[in-house]
C-alpha cells in the first residue's frame, strides 16, 4: 500500500518555507494555504509567512516592527505585552494576511491629495494669474491643483523640492506623472521643465512640533524618508511625462517628495532661471483606512494599527474613493 506524507513534516523548516514562498506561489497570499490542513495553517502562522509575503511585495514593510489591533474604542489598543506568544502569532497572521491582499491587488488611481510645502515659491515673470490653453489635462486632478513654480535664480544648478500628501497614510505607488509648465504667453512658448527629477517616499517626523508643519517652506528634518528613487531625465516639452518606479513602492506615512534637479529655461523678461510644473500625480493603489501607522523612531520604524471595525465597510468605502480619485 502506498505511503503518503506531508512535506512539511519531513523536510527541514527552512526548505518548507522556501517551497511556500517560491516563485511558483509568489502571486498567492500564504493565508490561502491555511485552508489545506491544520498542519499547514499552523506552519504558516508560526513562521510568519504572511509578513514575509508582504516583505517580498514591498521591502518597505520591514519598517513595521509591531502590530496593534484597535478594538472597540480608539483608545483601546491591543499590543504585544498584553498577549501570549500564540496570540501574538495569530494576531500578526490576521493583520498581515489582510494587508498582503491590498499590497498584491492593483486598482490604479491618483493618490496625491495636496501640496504641503516647497523649497521656494514664485511665479514666472509676466505669467498670467491663470493660464488657459487647449492642452488636455484630463489625467491631472483639477479638483486638487498641483501647480507650482520656483523663484528665479542666476544659477541653473540650484535644485528645488516640492512635497505632497497622499489621500491615505498608506499606499503603493507605481509611477509618477509630471506635466511641466509652458509659458504660452511668451513669444517662444518656453517649457520651464527641470533637467532631471527624483522622488522620495516617507512620513512626517513625529519628533517635530506640530506648528513646524504649518510652514509652507520645506526643511528636510520635517520628514523621514524610507525610499528614494533613481534620477529620471525630464524632456523639455509640453507633455505629461511618466516616470515608472523600479518597483511598486509602499509609501508608509503618505508623503511624497519631488526633487527637481537643474533648470533648463531662462526667462526672457528678467534673465533668471525658473522651474515650474503645471500638474503632478502619483499613480498607484491606496491601502484602506482600516490600517494606520504610528512612527516610533527617527529611522521610520513603526507600529501598524488595524481597526477591524472599519474592515466590513472597507469594500464600499474603497469603491467610492477609488471612483473619486481615478484619473
Does the pLDDT value for residue 48 go beyond 50?
yes
pLDDT over threshold 60, residue 23:
no
If phi over 0 gives left and psi between -120 and 50 gives alpha, with beta otherwise, what is residue 189? left
Nearest to 26 by CA among 46, 1, 60, 49: 49
CA dist., res. 272 & res. 164, Å (int) = 26
pLDDT digits 0-9 by tens, 311-326: 655 444 444 443 333 3
Q: List, for residues 53-100, the tens digit of each pLDDT value.
A: 999 989 999 999 999 987 654 444 555 454 577 888 999 999 999 999
C-beta atoms surrounding 217 within 10 Å:
11
* Beta strands 194-204; 223-228: pairing state: antiparallel
Residue 211 is predicted with a pLDDT of 55
Mean pLDDT of 34-49: 89
How far is 173 from 34, CA to CA, in rounded Å? 30
pLDDT of residue 78: 52
Cell numbers standing for residue 21: 514562498
pLDDT > 70: percent of the chain: 79
C-alpha cell at 69: 489591533
Q: What is the pLDDT of residue 35?
A: 84
Q: How are beta strands 109-110 and 160-166 bridged, if at all?
A: unpaired
C-alpha cell, 238: 509640453
* 221-230 tens-digit pLDDT: 899 999 999 9
CB 97 within 8 A of CB 31: yes
Q: What is the CA radius of gyration of the chain?
A: 23
The pLDDT score that the predictor gives to residue 143 is 46
Percent of the chain with pLDDT over 90: 47
Domains of the chain and CATH, by start: 115-123+142-283 (2.60.120.260)
Contact partners, residue 247, CB within 8 Å, separation at least 6: none
Q: What is the pLDDT of residues 136-191, one digit of tens each?
A: 433 344 444 578 999 999 999 999 999 999 999 999 999 999 999 988 777 788 89
How much helix, strand and coil, in percent to the nearest 5, is found in the chain? 25, 35, 40
Q: Could you give the CA distance from residue 78 to residue 126 in angstroms, rounded to a whole number?
A: 58
The whole model's pTM is what? 0.82
Q: Taking 90 as the threshold, does the pLDDT of residue 4 lie above it? A: no
Element (H, E) at 93: helix 85-103
DSSP 231: P
- pLDDT, residue 88, reads 87
The tens digit of pLDDT for each residue in 102-116 reads: 888 777 888 888 899
For range 232-242, the mean pLDDT? 94
CA distance 79 to 56: 25
Nearest to 174 by CA among 223, 109, 99, 258: 109
Amino acid at each position: 500500500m502506498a505511503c503518503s506524507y506531508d512535506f512539511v513534516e519531513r523536510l527541514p523548516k527552512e526548505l518548507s518555507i522556501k517551497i511556500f514562498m517560491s516563485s511558483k506561489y509568489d502571486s498567492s497570499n500564504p493565508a490561502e494555504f491555511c485552508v489545506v490542513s491544520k498542519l499547514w495553517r499552523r506552519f504558516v502562522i508560526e513562521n510568519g509567512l504572511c509578513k514575509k509575503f508582504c516583505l517580498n511585495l514591498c521591502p518597505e514593510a520591514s519598517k513595521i516592527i509591531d502590530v496593534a489591533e484597535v478594538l472597540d474604542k480608539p483608545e483601546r489598543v491591543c499590543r504585544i505585552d498584553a498577549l501570549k506568544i500564540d496570540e501574538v502569532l495569530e494576531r500578526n497572521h490576521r493583520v498581515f494576511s489582510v494587508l498582503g491582499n491590498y499590497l498584491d491587488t492593483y486598482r490604479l488611481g491618483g493618490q496625491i491629495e495636496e501640496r504641503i510645502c516647497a523649497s521656494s515659491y514664485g511665479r514666472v515673470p509676466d505669467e498670467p494669474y491663470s493660464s488657459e490653453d487647449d492642452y488636455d489635462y484630463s489625467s491631472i486632478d483639477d479638483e486638487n491643483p498641483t501647480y507650482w513654480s520656483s523663484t528665479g535664480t542666476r544659477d541653473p544648478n540650484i535644485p528645488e523640492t516640492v512635497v505632497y500628501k497622499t489621500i491615505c497614510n498608506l499606499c503603493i505607488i507605481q509611477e509618477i506623472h509630471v506635466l511641466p509648465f509652458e509659458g504660452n504667453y511668451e513669444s517662444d512658448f518656453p517649457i520651464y521643465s527641470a533637467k532631471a527629477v527624483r522622488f522620495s517616499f516617507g512620513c512626517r517626523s513625529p519628533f517635530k512640533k506640530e506648528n513646524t508643519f504649518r510652514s509652507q517652506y520645506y526643511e528636510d528634518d520635517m520628514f523621514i524618508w524610507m525610499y528614494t528613487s533613481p534620477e529620471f531625465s525630464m524632456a523639455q516639452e509640453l507633455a505629461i511625462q511618466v516616470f515608472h518606479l523600479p518597483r511598486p513602492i509602499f509609501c508608509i506615512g503618505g508623503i511624497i517628495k519631488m526633487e527637481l534637479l537643474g533648470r533648463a529655461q531662462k526667462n526672457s523678461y528678467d534673465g533668471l532661471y525658473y522651474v515650474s510644473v503645471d500638474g503632478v500625480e502619483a499613480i498607484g493603489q491606496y491601502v484602506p483606512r482600516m490600517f494606520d501607522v504610528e512612527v516610533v523612531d527617527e529611522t521610520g520604524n513603526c507600529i501598524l494599527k488595524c481597526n477591524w471595525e472599519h474592515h466590513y465597510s472597507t469594500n464600499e468605502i474603497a469603491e467610492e474613493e477609488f471612483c473619486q480619485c481615478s484619473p
